Structure 1
Amino acid sequence: MSALSRPTQRLSLQCLGAVTLSTLCAALPLGAQAADNYPSKPIKLIVPFAAGGSTDIVARVLAEGMRSTLGQPVVVDNRGGAGGLIGTEAVAQAPADGYTVGMATVSTMTINPLLYTRAQGLGAKLLPVANLVTMPSVWMAHPKMGVNNFPDFLAKIRAQPGAFSAGVPGVGTLGHLMLAAFNDTMKTDIQIVPYRGNGPALNDALAGQVQVMTDQLPSALPQIKGGKLIPVALSATARSPDLPNVPTFKELGYDDLNALGISWFGIVVPKNTPAATVKKLQDAAVKAAHLPDVQKRLQALGAQATDMDQSKFPAQIAADIQRNKAQLDKAGIQPE
């Protein structure tokens, strides 16, 4: 190699290094710019249940609010099936760019991983963003039981062990855990009858085939207002304006039963979604849940926006998993 070529080679390498460095430097602002520009297109909100249920209704209310706070359409995409597994898996497998968001519930995040081997490890692929809405559940008795309040209901159940049955949406569901926990706490013997979903259970409760039913307040209210089922207690943060004379389990002195029956609805994203994007999404979602119009629509459902510290959402999920595992173990329910 000539003396002339060596400096030329060094110069070429220096130029190449300069070009590479300048390329990297140019790329860095673009990456930051991508987070700054989020969202720049519509967002898909996957609901892991069929249209028309509580999760879907809440999701659509939130989606309208988030359209306002994010400045982009939020399109609800129902992916029902397998108890919420199909939709939750779809979120976990989506690109981690903030444009696929999933609705998260007590069932999908804290019961399914304990109930189905297919769901084990699914939570590790998801990043909790925000717990946005809580919804109470109500305990109801068929009119033929002849009770109109909780003391009479409890007295009748205790006086006739095994004489009354309750319908639940399936083995290991939140409804099942609520009934099992009630029996354990109250030392009662309500017979638990699993159905394939909430609809069939409610139909048999209305017909008097089962005498006890728990349900989320929005879907229960029409039956209560029609006099077809009698409300005796609520799992709720406070009494419902629609049922001012019905006490919460907390008022009755049963904090654990109260907490178990309160459903929550939040959002999750794929695990590796950039932190800046997650923060923007979290802030916008929390703001959306507290918009006056959104709050009004939630209250009409018997639900309310949460005011929790969102940094505690992952810890809440972990605590609920531990609580629900204890309930499933007591009931002898194994993963399938």
Structure 2
Amino acid sequence: MKTRVLSRRNVLTGAAALTAAAIVPRSSLGAGVWRPTETVKLIVPAAAGGATDVMGRLLAAHLQSVWGQSAIVENRSGAGGTIGAAEVVRAKADGHTILVGNPGPNAIAYRIYRNLTYKPEQLQPVSNMIRIPNIVSAHPSTGLKSIPELIAFLKANPDKLTWGSSGTGQSPHLTGAWFLQLTGLKMTHVPFRGAGPALQAGLAGDIQVLFDNLYPSLPQAQEGKLNGLCVTTPERSHLAPNLPTMREAAPELANFDVSSWFGIFLPKATPRPAVDELNRQIKTMLERDDVKKNVATMGARTDWGTPEQYSAFIEAETKKFAGIIEKEGLEMDVK
């Protein structure tokens, strides 16, 4: 059976193309439920076109339909997502300004930036929406086809391989750093300015190993241009069921779990009825068949939870990344 090769552009464009046409009508709202009284702003702390933006636009269309109030997406990229997050922290806590968060500004930033202008307790986690694995791959010239093979090679040849990521302090970089910390192995890190340049270096063989988000690397592995070694979530990806998880590779990696996740936050003092209503609408959106289909196409899985569950998840993610960052000795300034 021929493997279907997907591109990041096709996946994200397809998901972003969803409209509010199939969304639950306003009449589904019960009496006494919180509703917005003015335009709702969803702040996306990233450029247009990526997964954060796609999920923000899906939610905006859903909320506009069910609430009958304008819901607009504003992209506030820069400084690892912290510019957008800081804007939401400063916003009036009345339910009308929403942050579409991800690991950068909502977990990694708290430990890696010396001059961060906000703290985790200034944001109210509402719910996660989706989780997407990261992926590890190798250039075919290495002959490496699995994480056990990579571990064996590094044990016999310390510091002989270079590995790349989309940049220092990004999720793929910390994924690779954690792998090396847990195994006690060494490779030379080569950070790039974004996922695109990192992928090009990986395809050219300028680096031997690449730690990346699922897209754009998965299609390259499906085409044989890279050797896919593993995904980094506890479960395998339904788009690449033959690709093992990092946990399967070695006992010291048994608790390995890194993903790109995309969830919703409000300013901390937002009234609980507004928090609960937004949480309810996230759940409703994620249960729609059209959304499920497009989330699956992105290589993601839905991950709704209560505000309390999401708060616990964020706390655990922040602690995990803080430990990796501290051991690496990483510190940066927001610029």
SS at match of 1:269: strand
Structure 1's 153 and 61: CA in aligned 2 closer, same or farther, altered over 3 A? farther
Asked whether the equivalents of residues 65 and 291 of structure 1 are also in contact (C-alpha less than 8 Å), the reply is no
Asked whether the equivalents of residues 68 and 288 of structure 1 are also in contact (C-alpha less than 8 Å), the reply is no
Asked whether the equivalents of residues 182 and 257 of structure 1 are also in contact (C-alpha less than 8 Å), the reply is no
Larger % of helix: which?
Answer: 1
Asked whether the equivalents of residues 132 and 305 of structure 1 are also in contact (C-alpha less than 8 Å), the reply is yes
CA distance in 2, matches of 1:72, 1:236: 37
Structure 1's 290 and 171: CA in aligned 2 closer, same or farther, altered over 3 A? same
CA distance in 1, matches of 2:141, 2:82: 38
Q: In the alignment, residue 302 of structure 2 is paired with which amino acid?
A: A
What residue in structure 2 maps to residue 100 of structure 1? Answer: 97
Q: Return the offset for 1:163.
A: 1.2
| Cα RMSD for the two superposed structures | 2.3
What are the residue-to-residue correspondences of 1:98-177 with 2, within 5 Å? 98-119=95-116, 121-177=118-174
TM-score by length of 2: 0.83
SS at match of 1:136: strand
Q: Return the offset for 1:67.
A: 4.0
What residue in structure 2 maps to residue 243 of structure 1? Answer: 240
SS at match of 1:213: strand
Q: Return the offset for 1:103.
A: 0.9
Q: In the alignment, residue 299 of structure 2 is paired with which amino acid?
A: G
Q: Return the offset for 1:306.
A: 0.9
What residue in structure 1 maps to residue 188 of structure 2? Answer: 191
Structure 1's 73 and 221: CA in aligned 2 closer, same or farther, altered over 3 A? farther
Is the radius of gyration larger for structure 1 or structure 2? 1
What residue in structure 2 maps to residue 278 of structure 1? Answer: 275
CA distance in 1, matches of 2:225, 2:260: 24
Q: Return the offset for 1:58.
A: 2.9
SS at match of 1:151: helix
TM-score by length of 1: 0.82
SS at match of 2:115: helix
Determine whether 1:227 maps to 2:186: no
Could you give the per-residue CA deviations for residues 69-116 of structure 1, whole angstroms, max 9, x where no partner exists?
A: 544453221110111111111111122121110111111111111111
CA distance in 2, matches of 1:315, 1:153: 34
* Identity across the alignment (%): 35
Asked whether the equivalents of residues 126 and 271 of structure 1 are also in contact (C-alpha less than 8 Å), the reply is yes
Paired residues, what number? 303
What residue in structure 2 maps to residue 334 of structure 1? Answer: 331
Structure 1 runs not aligned, ≥5 long: 1-33
Q: Return the offset for 1:212.
A: 0.9
Structure 1's 285 and 294: CA in aligned 2 closer, same or farther, altered over 3 A? same
Q: Return the offset for 1:68.
A: 4.5
CA distance in 2, matches of 1:103, 1:259: 25
Structure 1's 44 and 97: CA in aligned 2 closer, same or farther, altered over 3 A? same
Could you give the per-residue CA deviations for residues 206-264 of structure 1, whole angstroms, max 9, x where no partner exists?
A: 21111111222132222222322111111124222221211112333568676442222
